[in-house]
Copies of this chain bind each other. A is one copy, B any other.
Amino acid sequence: MAIMAVLGSGIMATALSFPMSENGHEVRLVGTHLDREIIDSIQKTGIHPNLGLKVNPGVSAYQLEDAPTAFAGADVVMCGVNSFGIEWIAEQFKTLLRPGQKLLCITKGMRADADGTLHLLPEIIQNALPKELVEQVSWNAVVGPSIAGEVAVHHDTAVVFCGHNQDDLEYLADLFRTDYYHVWTSLDFVGHETGAATKNIYAFAAGFAAGLLKAQGKENDRYVMYNYGSAIFAQGQKEVRQFVTFMGGIPETADGLGGVGDMFVTSMGGRNVKAGTFVGQGIPFSQVRSVHMKGVTLEGVAAISVIGKALRALTSRGVIQESDFPLCRFLYSVVEEDAPLKMPWDKFFADLR
C-alpha cells in the first residue's frame, strides 16, 4: 500500500483519489486556506461539495494546519492547486517535501520573465526549494483530457504521466491504473507540460462562436458556427505544436492526449469557454472580467495574459517572428486591450505548404 498526500483539494485533485484509493492505496487530501469548507464537508459527510460526490474509503481530509501530519510518510505528493497558487504551494513545499518522495503535479500553466523567457510551473516550485531537495524528489506530472467528475464517476479517461525517470513513472502509473483510468507514460516532460499549459489559451476562443450567434439571435438556427470553431481549433493545434517545439519538447506530443486531446476536452465547455462566449456577444473583455464573470478563476485567460505578453518580449528580442502564434497574439489583444472580435484569418496557417 502506498500513501499519497495531496495539497489542494479542488475537484481535479479529489477526482484522482478515486482510482488510487480503489487500488487499495491511501490518499490524504489537504486543503489550502481557501479549501476550509471543502475539508470540513469531507470530514463530516465524506462529500466533496463542488464535485458533488462522496469520496472513497481510504481517502481522508486534513485542514492546512495538519499538513505536516498528512505529508509524514507519504510516498507520493501531489501538487493539487490551480495555476494561481503555484508560488504559494512552493512556499509550503519548502517545509513539507521530503527526500525520496515522488511528486505528481496537476497544475498547468506558465510563468514568464520580463524578457519573455517562459517557465513551466514545476520549475517555479523547484526554484523555491533548496537545490539538494530538488534533486532528491522525483518530478512528474499528469497530463491529458480529464474532466474531474468524469474520472470520479468511472468514465473512461486516458492520460499521460510524464517525468524524467521511467521507473518512477511506472511506479506512479501502477498506483492509478484501473479499468477506466488508462495511464500512458512519457519522458517528454517539457512537451507534455507545454501542451497542457498552452491548450488552455485556445479554449477561450472556443467560446466565441456561441457568442457571435447569440448576438445575432441565431443560437437556435439550423446552421450554427462549427466551421468557425473548427478553423480556430486547427490553428490552435498548430500553435500548441509550435509552443511544444519552442520549449524543447517533442513536436509529436502536441498530437496526442497532452495536446489535441486535451484541447478537445477543454473546448467542450467550462469557464474559459463561457468567458469567450461573452466576448463573442460583443462585450469588451474588461467588462466580462469585472462584471459578467467577476471573481471567477479563468486559467485560460491567465495563460493568454502571461504567454501573450511573453510573445511580445520574445519578438522584440528577435527570438521569435512577428508572424508566429497569430491566434495567441490576437487573444492577448482581446484580453488585455479589449480588442474587438475581428479574427485575423489572413495570418493563420502561414506555414501551409
Contacts and interface: CB of A to CB of B under 8 A. Distances in A.
Given A223-B152, A238-B256, A352 B184 contact: yes
Contact of A238 (B184, B187, B188, B255): B255
Copies of this subunit = 2
Interface size class of A (residues with CB under 8 A): 35 or more
B345 A231 contact: no
A31 interface: no
A323 to B, nearest CB: 15
Nearest to A254: B255
Interface stretch (A58-66, A101-109, A259-267): A259-267
A345 B153 contact: no
B227 A157 contact: yes
A157 B231 contact: yes
A222 B156 CA distance: 15
A188 B353 contact: yes
A140 B145 CA distance: 37
Contacts of A222: 52, 149
A185 B353 CA distance: 8
A256 B188 CA distance: 23
A230 interface: yes
A82 interface: no
A156 B186 contact: no
**Which 6 residue pairs spanning A and B have beta carbons closest together?**
A234-B261, A145-B230, A158-B231, A149-B223, A230-B265, A157-B227
